[in-house]
Structures are given as structure tokens and as C-alpha cells.
Structure 1
Amino acid sequence: MKYQRFLYLLILWSLPTGLLLAQQSKPTPYLPSHAEILQRYKKVQLLDSITRKTISRHNVDANWMPDGKSFWYVITGNDSSKTAYLVTAATGKKEVITDTAKIAQLAKNHTGARPVRQHEPSRWEGFATDSVSPDKQWVATTIDGNVYVRSVATGALTPFTTDGKATGDYYGALAWSPDSKYLVGYRIHPVEDSSVYYVLTDVAGTTRGQLRSQPYKQPGDPFTTFDMYLFTLAGKTTAKVKTEQIDFFDAPMLHWRHKDPRYFLYEKVDRGHQRFRVIEVDATNGNTRTILDEKTPSFIYESRLYTHYLPETNELLWTSEKDGWRHIYLVNTLTGEIKNQVTKGDWVVREIDSVDAKKREIWFRAGGRNAGEDPYFLHYYRTDFSGQHLLDLTPAAGNHQAFFSPDKKYFIDKYSQVNVPPVNELRRTADGKLITVLEKTDVSGWEATGVPFPIPFTAKGRDGKTDIWGVMCRPTDYDSTKMYPVVENIYAGPQDAFVPKSFMSYYIDMQSLADLGFIVVQIDGMGTANRSKAFHDVCWKNLVDAGFPDRILWIKALAQKYSFVDTSRVGLYGTSAGGQNALGGLLFHPEFYKAAVASCGCHDNRVDKQWWNEQWMGYPVGKEYEEQSNVTNAGKLQGRLLLIVGEADTNVPPESTYRVINALIKKGKTFEFLPVPGMGHSDGGPYGRIKRRDFFVKNLLNINPPDRNINE
């Protein structure tokens, strides 16, 4: 019996103190002393210093030789030493280059690896052709707002319009047909955008504030409009095309039939983003017919609406979320019939990089196709137009970046996760076959510092079935017997997803905040992009939601798994739309969020830029804009708030923050405010980030931060 007691005591003595205490009692809130918090600030500075250049071999910047058969690259080690390698692409054979003269020679004759992206023109960009007709016989021009065509041979001018004005309504954006028989142009009704203003309070060499302004279109503001006209060379005729006025975007790109240039196609996105059409025009008579017509009760995400025209085969590649996921469709542009759905399934086509019309191949990136993986991980794919021969070029688990040789026969696949260091592989493009592993990241130096990598975490969202993804950073020296307050880095803008997915080879801001004594998290809730259409639609006329129901459940689930997470002390911070979200947390969910730092927030969607806000909040400007405004709801403020704004913000007008301030003052609310002279759209810059850290230390750890006026 005595032996058993002795053995028990020996086992207890040998257990880690934290584990022993955890068995005896529940974790207690972490509440550091002033002296301890001063040491934490110093430790953060030290960790920022000692973690630098501790990660190596994480990147291969390939320099391809002109023949495309080999490339060279240089690796910098943790000790700053450099090693150059020459790689034979077909075999993956790698040899060290020791001759510095050879490296210098190689540097003169190389082509960098390149991403595969093939850029398409923006619908915001106006379209016109060269003034000289394709057959070089005519020159199209405008004089005092009217259309003229001049003969190259004789110099004679032929007027086609007389009602244009030098100022006011005028004709322009002229575009020739490929056969030089027709000229397309527009009667343009211009709108001059109203200005927003700001004052630079401290400009060197001045004693007065300097007023600045810029044109700035806000939701509901009018657009320049375009009436489409046809000018026929043979009969010197002018005719208005029988179609709706273009009242959104600029003059559209024209896509003429290859074999019968009597017809052309153009695109029309209705203002409000709920209807997209491809319209055909018959140049002989101005008649039109709709080839493709997509309508949605919520929104069509125009910036990710991809179209690629194939005039030689009268086809169109088009992306749509019509089946609930963003996929590629092949359309017959003669009939408007969808020939086939190229990609399908519960996953998302994220980017179309290029199209090879001759091989009838599409190169694209997608997420969510590989079962068991984070659905935000990007993979690179190639498929034929039928969709029957889909190839995953980057099959390994992780978030991928592909860099192709100039002839696209080979590519370097760099993949990683936030807590899995990068691997760089050389692969063959024809079949995706692995040729060799070029580099695996060396993290031994980083690991020696003890700083942890971010931890991915998933929990179910508000519907009880959808996975919500995020990451957590914890203090390097966390104590499992303590409970640390939570700070969420929030950005709920619907234009993308924002939780990092790739490995970061530096001491990130979230980790530095964590090392002051916090659990710092970042989450993509419902309403953000890159998931299903239903997931994204949560934001529609509902930016106030910001995924908060999912975020709160995620943090609570995190606390269930990790006992050191304290959900009674939760703060959040963000910039721009994230600034709007940060304040929104206190206004609409004060039972959960207790402190917030909101930087350069777009607190009222009526004040912010038109193109972003109408995409998500709709047009015409409805009651939702006012009802969801942080200005309107300022009186609901509970908890601690720090507002930061740059006086020279040209992205979100500074008055968005000042209107919140005025509303808070009128309601007698308590808050802190940091205006930064001369700063643009930012989280506050270096000083703002210091104040943000101090704010959370004071309001969530309940201890005064360092007093820098006495050099603490």
C-alpha cells in the first residue's frame, strides 16, 4: 500500500504542472500584472526580430532558358548564404552551379516562370476601335460632337449626324465592323460625378489646411448613358438600334460573327446586378434579339461573371451560378442554346485562366472539389469543352500556386497550408505528372523560437450543417490553466473570402497580438464568397449580418475544444468593410462582443462607393441602406469602442466615420477616437496598430498598457 502511494506521488510529481492543475481545477481568466504585460510587449518585439530569416527553401523563382528545356533558381539559406541550381526539366535532374561567372551568363538569357492568367477586359472600360477602318479606306471621327467619315483616298468628309453637341449630348465610342461596312457609335448623355472632400491638416510649408476633392459616385447616383446607333457606309444612313439604353457600365465590347459580320453581340448588365444579357444586333436594320438572359432574385456577381467568345465556332464560354455553384457553360451564340455544362458538382470555379480555342481546352482554378479538404484551397485544372476529360494538375492537399514555363510544357506547383510549410514540385503539364520535388521548406530555425503556426479550425454554421472555416493564433507561451480573451480579426466583405490558406513565412500581426495574451482568430462566415450561391446570398441587402451568427458559433465551438479560450471576453477589429463589421459587432451583438477597433469603416453604405455597395445592397437604394447603417444604429452602442480614420482616405470618405461620431455624441455615448493626419485608407498605420493593441490590453486584459511618455 505504501509502495502504491509512493508510486502515485512520483507520477504526480513527474506530470507537467499545467496538466496537474488542469485536473484539479478549471482554467482561470488570464489577468496579467502591469509588470508582466510590459514584459510581453518586449517579448513581442524580440520574437519579431528573432523569427526573421528563420525559414528558407520555401520558394522557387524559376528562370527558364530560351529553349524551355531547363531553368535555374537561387535559394537563400537561414545563414543568408546563396546556392544556385540548374534543373533539367524533362528529368528533374538538379545540379549545383558553383561557377559565379556561369550564373551571371545565365542571368542574361532567361525568361521568368509565369502564371497562366489570360486577362479579359473589364465591363467598366469603354470600347472603341481604331479610327481607321479595317480595309484602310475610311477614317471615323467626331467633330463638335457629331460623327463624320473621311475618305482616305479623297479626303472628303461625310456627315452622319447633326444633332450632337460639342458640350452636352454628343456622339462617340465609334467601332468599325470587321468588313468596314458598318460603324457603331453612341449618342452619349454625360453625367459629371459629384465630389467628395477632405482636408489635409498638416502639409509641410503651409499654415492652413489644404482642401482636396475627387469625383466619387455613391449608391443611387446617375450614370452616363448610351444610345446605340448604326452608321452604314454604303447608303450613308444613320439608324438607332432597337434596344434599351445602356445606363450601366461604359460602351460595351462588340463581338462580330466571324463568317457573317452582319451581326454582332454585346453584353448588358442591368443596374442592380440582377440581370445579365447577351444581345445580338442585325447591322442591316438595327433589329435585336436576346441570345442569353440570366435573372436572379438576389445578385449576379458581375466581377466574377466570365465570358469568352469563340467567333469561329459561334460559341460562348460563360460562368453562372444557376445550379447553385459557379460553373462553366458552353453556349451556341446562334441559337442561345446551352450546348453543355462544362463543369458541375458541389464545388466552385474560382478563376478561368485561359482558353485554347484550337485544342478546345479550358485552364481554370477551383476550390472544394477534393473531398476532405478545406474547400477554399485552390487547385489548378484543365478540361476540354465537353467537361469529360477533367484533369487536376495539382492533386496534393493544400493551397496551390502554379508557375508555368513560357511554353507551358512544365510548371512549378507551390502548395502549403497555414500550418504546413510549402513544397515546390516540378510537374509536366500534359498529364500533371510529378517530375521531382524541387524544394521542401526548412522551418527548423522558426521552430527553435517556439512560435506556433496558426491552427485551422472548423465548426458548423447557423444551419447546423455548413462548415465554417477559420484559423486561431495563441500565445507562444500559453498556459493551459489560464483562459485568454479572444480578439477576432474581421472582414466580412462579400467580394471574397479572407482567412489565410497559405503558409506565411514571417511573424504575422495576428500572432504578435496573440503574444500579448490573446487568442486571435479570423473566420469566413456566411455571406462571403468562394462557396455555394446560397452561402453567398446571405449578404444580399443584408450586409449587417456579416456572418455574425456563424462567427459566434465558431468561437464558442473553439472554446469547447480548447479550454484556454475565454468567450466572456471577446473583441474584434477590422478595416474598411471590416471597420463597419467591427462596430457592427458592438451594435448588434453586444451580448458577445465587448470591445472593438474600427478603422476607416464604411459605416453607412449610402456614403461609400457606388460600385461596391449596389452590388450587395441593391438598386434602387432601398430602406435596407438606412436600417443597417452604423450611423442610424449608433445609439445601440454597448462595450468599448475605438474609431480610427485617415483624414486623406480616398477609398471610403472620412465623413463615414465622422457621421458615426456625431451620432454617438448626440446619444451621449463613450468612445475613443484616433484621426491620423495625412493617412489614407488604412488600419491606422504603425501608430494605429500600437493603439489597437493597447486598447485590447486595457479593455480585455484589464491592465494599463505601457506608458510610452515615461519609456515604460
Structure 2
Amino acid sequence: MRQLLLALALLAGPAAAQSPREARIQRSIDLREQWQWLTRDIAFPAEWDEDGRRFHYRKTVAGGFAFVDMDAKTRRKRAAFDAAALARALGRLLGTPVDPLRLPFEHFAFVDNRSAIVAMIDYAPIRCTLAVPRCEKVVDRSRPRGFGVVRDLKMPARNDPHRSPDGRLEALVLDDNLVVRAAGGGRELWHSQDGSAADFYDPESIEWAPDGRHLALYRVRPGYRRVVTRVVAAPPGRVQPEVVEQLYPKPGDAVDQERPVIFDTGSGRRIHVAEALFPNPWRLSDLKWRKDGRSLAFGYMRRGFGAAKVIAVDADTGAAHAAISEDSNTFVFDERRFLHDVGGEGRELIWASERSGWRHLYLIDGATGKATPITTGQWVVRDIVHVDDTKRRIWFSASGVTPGEDPYHKHWFRVDFDGTNLVRLTQGDETHDASFSPDARLFVDVHSRTDRPEIAELRDGETGRVIATLEQGDATALAAAGFRPPQTFVAKGRDGVTDIWGLVVRPRDFDPARRYPVIENIYAGPHDSFVPKGFWPFGGFSGGDKAMGMQQIADLGFIVVMIDGMGTANRSKAFHDVAWKHLDDSGFPDRILWMKALAAKDPSLDLGRVGIYGGSAGGQSTLNALLFHPEFYKAGVAFAGCFDNRMDKIDWNEQWLGWPVDKSYLDASGVVHADKLEGKLLLVVGEQDSNVDPASTLQVVDALIRANKDFELLVIPNGEHSAGRSSGPVSYAQRRQYDFFLRTLGGMPAGD
């Protein structure tokens, strides 16, 4: 028997032994689990109760996280809930064990007088009672919309009766027509007669005027119901494949056409609203009545994103005028629109605009449209969190205010409507994530930098004075384990003037005498900036998980960089406009110059061996690096890329490439330009990607095959959009990524 066991051991030995490369990969894979629980008291942004009395936040503790609840008046802290009991309840709902120190959510809200919480888990809302923990999925009864612009007419609309302000009447939609009747399902007073399935009244948009004399809602001509069909090839626990469908409008598709309609509630008379001021709408915002009930307003974005307005309508006549008009030769940034109606009267409006070349706040005369600047300067207003109409004061964040400081660091301010009394509430060369109480009298400030752990403080909302230190982040054990913060590096962009900011991560065993291949972690989506600015390196609000993943790759024997090139957000309008109709640009001229400037100062960078990786829009940029800049980028791993913008979601792509679909979509297409591929490419896609149609990847595969180009492909059955890139346990795809870069670019010390 002993001889048999020895023989088996000898046979198994060579197969079981890891090669130096495999061992190196495994060490990188293990790094996250070894490091991510070593910090203490790293706090995340707080969330306030509606009454402003209490707030809660998450922080790191031994082995995971804890949620802390605090009384803002007494400063008394306690656990937000019984984490062990909640974990058991979640485990029963999810069908898998849940660790109370690693609950599967970062944020939650107290509801029902703090007797329950609601949190998002896997993109779905979950409600859990606390006294006797029990969890259930929250069912959204509203009609789904594909990316907000096409209603799913196969699903019923939420059609609860809308009570009039005095409670005597109610309005709802029956057989596509508006019906007004006595409350409680009583006698019908009147109903519209022109609604149809092809031109229906939307019950989810009904709004009564405050005085009850009128009501308004949208009438809708349906857009095109495009459906993406996916095959679940290996459904868990089953043998036969399944088919799933998703409402998924794409660029150029017809969107729902909404038009506001006003009715006199006493007579049922329809008041016509002329549509000349809002032609070809992309989307109209919710109808909002002014306080006196004499008029209403709504936001309008023209399709193509070149013009936005705030339209005010007289309730008695239907006469409309543009209270605000915003036009651009490129795009109006839809996600960053901000409007506040001072006093709810329509006489004065607070509006955010980039008309000066920088995003700033303006006080708008609601009758004439005259705009008076509230903030000015070559810096950017970021978040507007509170407007006090009585004090005529605004609380907001901004970046780029202090010359010489990282222009992406957020600081917090307050200012009066007339632009005077600008008070800076936070200081220091750090980034600040603040959470304000509903009345802005207090705020929780979590501030840090890539080389400084988070500090959480309760502050005075008028002066910024520190009232109490809530948490002092401690990364001592993490540093002792070998963690070193990434290096910040700045170089000039393509214009020779503009500063381009990025990060550098080196191997823990870095030897300045060696030459290292360089790998860029890219995400160049124009909707934000992406290089981490906060400390915590394992995910969360600072975006630091990117830095952790970069360290894992660096330890394989690479220098890894991440850069915010031109075309991304949070700088000037001109900086941002570089992306307009040029998603193929991805800031590459700036990125390449940045890496060359770094190499000029650090000869350990080998720019003859440069790789790149990214997911989603970063996946598209990765492929385009190999297609359009093969003289610089030699290998790339593209996860879940939107490789042809005609195949991707309608909203994101029309925002940056416009409408109608034109040559700019072709210029950025990895399918159209697949024959230009040089270098080495690994494509990774999740079979069930609900964000980017996975057919986009397969169409690139088809084009590469037809062009006789060699590449590698990994399809992950049941994988979603984050397949291979999740911040949880490192996946099979990440192991393949590490191996790919080692095979194509080298890396690893010579002795390994």
C-alpha cells in the first residue's frame, strides 16, 4: 500500500505543482482577501433621517463592516440594527448564508418610523423589518421604461386613483382616457374621449393643481418596443437552455412622445398647450404645479441633447413660454441638469449651466429668462445639495477652486442668491464627501486622499466648524502588510497647457533598476471622471477598488496607471467637449503623452510593452487602443465592451454621439474597424449582460474572423455586466486576464 501511495504521489506531483507564473498569479489573487479587512474605522458617507435628528453610516471593523447610528443632538452612537439577526433574515430570502460583518449592501434607508430598512441588493430593493427581522423584495408597481424613454406597454401602468387636494374627487385612466369621478369610486363627472392605445393618457403622470381647479398629465404616443433576446445556455439546476427578453431601446429608435395636457376639473374642458416650444422631445420631466395653481412647469430636452428648456404653462389659457433656455453647439449634459423653483412660485429659478465654459449657478427671472450669475470662475460646481428660500442661500460642492490643488478634489461651500457671502466649509488638499441634514444646519464630512485614510466629522453647516470627530481611519495594519498608496502624477495634455492627472501603482517588490511593462486601466466614459481620489483601496465611495485591482496586476511585474484624459467630466466645458461625436478619441492623445512624460522621469517604464484593460465603455476604449493606436498599445483585455454604439443603450450613446445616428457612430465602431487590429486581444463577455447587449461582443468576433485576425475570447455563462470585474472574490476571468498579460507583455522578476 505504501508503495502504491508513493507511486500515486509521484504521478500527481508534476500536475499539482504550480509553475512560477501560476504561483505569482495566485499570490495576486489572494492579495485582496489578505488585505481588505485590515483597516479600522474607515467611514463611508452618512445618510440622514428625514427629520434631521439622526444619521447612520458604514465603517470598517475587524473582519468586515458595521453600520453605526448616531443621534446628532446627543452624539450618542449605537449599532444601526442587529446585524446577526438581519443576516439570518437576508440569508433566508437570498437562499445563501450571509455574514453579518459583510452584509450585501453599502447603503440603506430607515422607513416606517425606523421599524424597517430598505436597501438595494443586486440592483433590486429589499425591505427588512427590524424588531423581528424578516426580509422581502419590494415590488415596483410602476410601468417599466426602457432607459427612461420607452414604456413597456406589455406591463400594466400604476393606476391608483389620484385624490384632489380637497379629497372630494379622484382621477385615473380607464381605457386610455382620463376619468374624473367622486372619491372612492363614486359617480363619474366626466372623461376624455380621444385617448387610444396609440395615443393614451398616462395615469402615472397625473398631477392636481394645489387649488384643485385644474389637473394635468401627459398624453403619450408610444415609441418602438425593441427587445433584446438572450439565451441562458446553462441555467443553474436545469438542463435545457432558457430564453430571456429585455426592453432595450437603441440609438435611433423611436422614443415615447409626451405632450402635456391640462383639464378644467369642473367642466372637463381640455386646455390646449401648443407644442412649438418643445419639438422632438427626448424626454419631458415630471409636471410641477406652481404654488398658486395658476401655472405649471416641466423640463424639456430636445433629442440630440443640443437644447434644454424649462417650459411654464398658464393653466387657464395653455399659453407657454420658455422660462429657461439652454443651447449648446455640442451637448447639454442631461445627468447634470439642476433646477430649483424659489418658493414654488415660478418667479425666480436656480439653474446650473455651462454657458460660461464652466458649470456654475444662475438666478433666472422666471418671466423674462434673464440669467444672473451666482457663482463664477474657472472652476466647476459639482453637487447642489440644499437651497434655503428664506435665507436665499445655496449649499454646494465644487472642484478646481484652489490653484495647484488636484482639480478633482471636492470641497463644500455656501453662497447667497446674489453671489455674495461665499463661505468655504471644508479645507485642505483632500477630497470631501459630505452628507447634509435636510435643513443643512449640520453635515457629516468624510475626507481623505489617496495617501490619507478617511476621517469622518460632524460639522456646522453655516461655518464648517468641526463639532465632533466621528471616526479616524486607521490603516496601520494595512501599511504593515505592505500596502503603499499609489503615486499621483501630472503631465500636460495634447494642447501643451492643460494638466492631465493620473495614478501610478508599482509592484511591492519594485526594483528601479529593472524595466517594467506598463498597463493602463482605462475608463473614459464622458459621464464622469474616474481616477480614485479617496483613500480606501477596496471599493466604495472613493472608487478605490480600482487601485486594489491595479496593485494585484502590478505585483505580477507591471507598472499600472490610470488617467483622466480629455473628454471626461468635472473639468471645463472645452475639456469635456473633446468627447462629443468622438468616442473613438477616449483621451488617447493625452494618455500617451502622460505615460511618455512619466517614462521620461522614471526609466523603469518600458513603453515598448504597453497593455490596456477596461470594462463597458472601458472595454470599447481598450479595443480602440489596439485599432487606432497600435504603435503604442500592444495588448488589451476588453470586458463587456459597447464596441459599436449603435448596439448599445439609447440614452448614453445619443448623449455623446447625438441624434440621428451618423458617421460618428461608425468612426468609433470596433466592428467597422476590426480589420485594423494589431497586437494581442482578449475579449470577455457575460452571457446575460443586461447593460450592454452581449451581441456587441459577438459582432466584433464575427468581424475579426472575417478579417482573419487572431484574438482570444471568453464567454461567461450566466455572467452579468460585471462578469470578471466584480469587487468580490477574483473570478476565473481575472485569472485569465493576469495570465494573458504575462504571456503577451512579460512581467515577473527574472528569478520567478
TM-score w.r.t. the length of structure 1 is: 0.83
DSSP 3-state at the match of 2:330: coil
In structure 2, stretches of 5+ residues that fail to align are 1-17, 80-112, 117-144, 152-157, 539-546, 726-730
Residue of 386, 394, 397 corresponding to 1:354? 386
CA apart distance, 1:408: 4.9
Structure-2 residue corresponding to 1:11:
none
Matched, 1:314 2:347: yes
Root-mean-square deviation (CA, aligned residues, Å) is: 3.7
Task: Determine the C-alpha separation between the residues in 2 that align with 1:285 and 1:175.
Answer: 18
CA separation of 1:65 and 1:146: change in aligned 2, threshold 3 A: closer
CA apart distance, 1:219: 0.3
In structure 1, stretches of 5+ residues that fail to align are 1-33, 98-108, 113-121, 706-711
Residue of 583, 586, 589 corresponding to 1:543? 583
CA apart distance, 1:314: 1.8
Deviates more, 1:389-398 or 1:503-512: 503-512
CA apart distance, 1:79: 9.9
| Alignment check: 8 A CA contact 1:494 1:527 kept | yes
CA separation of 1:296 and 1:85: change in aligned 2, threshold 3 A: closer
CA apart distance, 1:353: 1.0
The letter of the residue matching 2:40 is S
Structure-2 residue corresponding to 1:253:
286
Structure-1 residue corresponding to 2:43:
59
Task: Determine the C-alpha separation between the residues in 2 that align with 1:110 and 1:156.
Answer: 40
The within-5 A match list for 1:79-478 is 124=148, 131-151=162-182, 155-165=186-196, 167-172=197-202, 173-244=205-276, 247-249=280-282, 252-259=285-292, 261-310=293-342, 311-312=344-345, 314-338=347-371, 340-404=372-436, 408-435=440-467, 439-478=471-510
Structure-1 residue corresponding to 2:548:
508
CA apart distance, 1:428: 2.6
The within-5 A match list for 1:568-607 is 568-607=608-647
The within-5 A match list for 1:636-655 is 636-655=676-695
CA apart distance, 1:151: 4.4
| Alignment check: 8 A CA contact 2:456 2:472 kept | yes
Task: Determine the C-alpha separation between the residues in 2 that align with 1:72 and 1:576.
Answer: 33
Matched, 1:694 2:678: no
Task: Determine the C-alpha separation between the residues in 2 that align with 1:372 and 1:508.
Answer: 27
Residue of 703, 710, 713 corresponding to 1:673? 713
Task: Determine the C-alpha separation between the residues in 1 that align with 2:741 and 2:370.
Answer: 58
Task: Determine the C-alpha separation between the residues in 2 that align with 1:648 and 1:518.
Answer: 32
TM-score w.r.t. the length of structure 2 is: 0.79
CA separation of 1:315 and 1:69: change in aligned 2, threshold 3 A: closer
Q: What's the CA shift string for 1:105-136, capped at 9, x where partnerless? A: xxxx9999xxxxxxxxx994999996222233
The within-5 A match list for 1:474-485 is 474-485=506-517
Deviates more, 1:271-280 or 1:133-142: 133-142
CA apart distance, 1:143: 3.0
Higher relative CO (CA 8 A, sep ≥ 6), structure 1 or 2? 1
DSSP 3-state at the match of 1:508: helix
The letter of the residue matching 1:133 is S
Task: Determine the C-alpha separation between the residues in 2 that align with 1:476 and 1:555.
Answer: 20
Task: Determine the C-alpha separation between the residues in 1 that align with 2:334 and 2:78.
Answer: 49
Task: Determine the C-alpha separation between the residues in 2 that align with 1:73 and 1:497.
Answer: 25
CA separation of 1:441 and 1:286: change in aligned 2, threshold 3 A: closer
Deviates more, 1:51-60 or 1:509-518: 51-60
Deviates more, 1:425-434 or 1:602-611: 425-434
The letter of the residue matching 1:319 is A
Greater Rg by CA:
1
Q: What's the CA shift string for 1:69-116, capped at 9, x where partnerless? A: 99999987779999x9999979x9x9999xxxxxxxxxxx9999xxxx
Task: Determine the C-alpha separation between the residues in 2 that align with 1:676 and 1:376.
Answer: 36
Deviates more, 1:602-611 or 1:679-688: 679-688
DSSP 3-state at the match of 2:166: coil
The letter of the residue matching 1:331 is I
The letter of the residue matching 1:356 is D
Task: Determine the C-alpha separation between the residues in 1 that align with 2:647 and 2:378.
Answer: 37
| Alignment check: 8 A CA contact 2:716 2:723 kept | no
Task: Determine the C-alpha separation between the residues in 1 that align with 2:330 and 2:409.
Answer: 26
The letter of the residue matching 1:326 is R
Deviates more, 1:638-647 or 1:226-235: 226-235
CA apart distance, 1:433: 2.0
DSSP 3-state at the match of 2:43: coil
Q: What's the CA shift string for 1:296-331, capped at 9, x where partnerless? A: 110001110111112247211110000001111111
Task: Determine the C-alpha separation between the residues in 1 that align with 2:194 and 2:46.
Answer: 59
Task: Determine the C-alpha separation between the residues in 2 that align with 1:169 and 1:95.
Answer: 55
Residue of 670, 673, 680 corresponding to 1:630? 670
The letter of the residue matching 1:162 is Q
| Alignment check: 8 A CA contact 1:64 1:111 kept | no
Task: Determine the C-alpha separation between the residues in 1 that align with 2:297 and 2:438.
Answer: 33
CA apart distance, 1:442: 3.1
The letter of the residue matching 1:321 is E
CA apart distance, 1:405: 6.0
Task: Determine the C-alpha separation between the residues in 1 that align with 2:235 and 2:34.
Answer: 38
Residue of 591, 596, 600 corresponding to 1:560? 600
Q: What's the CA shift string for 1:647-680, capped at 9, x where partnerless? A: 1111111110000000000010000000111101
| Alignment check: 8 A CA contact 1:697 1:704 kept | no
Task: Determine the C-alpha separation between the residues in 1 that align with 2:496 and 2:46.
Answer: 46
The letter of the residue matching 2:305 is H
CA apart distance, 1:380: 1.6
Task: Determine the C-alpha separation between the residues in 2 that align with 1:96 and 1:178.
Answer: 42
CA separation of 1:249 and 1:638: change in aligned 2, threshold 3 A: same
| Alignment check: 8 A CA contact 1:60 1:439 kept | no
Task: Determine the C-alpha separation between the residues in 2 that align with 1:299 and 1:436.
Answer: 43
CA apart distance, 1:581: 0.4
DSSP 3-state at the match of 2:606: strand
Q: What's the CA shift string for 1:529-580, capped at 9, x where partnerless? A: 0110000000001100000000000111111111211111000001010000
Identical residues among aligned pairs (%): 42
Task: Determine the C-alpha separation between the residues in 2 that align with 1:270 and 1:439.
Answer: 46
CA apart distance, 1:348: 0.7
| Alignment check: 8 A CA contact 2:54 2:69 kept | no
CA separation of 1:110 and 1:393: change in aligned 2, threshold 3 A: farther
Give the length in aligned residue pairs.
649
| Alignment check: 8 A CA contact 2:556 2:748 kept | no
Task: Determine the C-alpha separation between the residues in 1 that align with 2:596 and 2:274.
Answer: 58
CA separation of 1:700 and 1:435: change in aligned 2, threshold 3 A: same
Task: Determine the C-alpha separation between the residues in 2 that align with 1:85 and 1:141.
Answer: 41
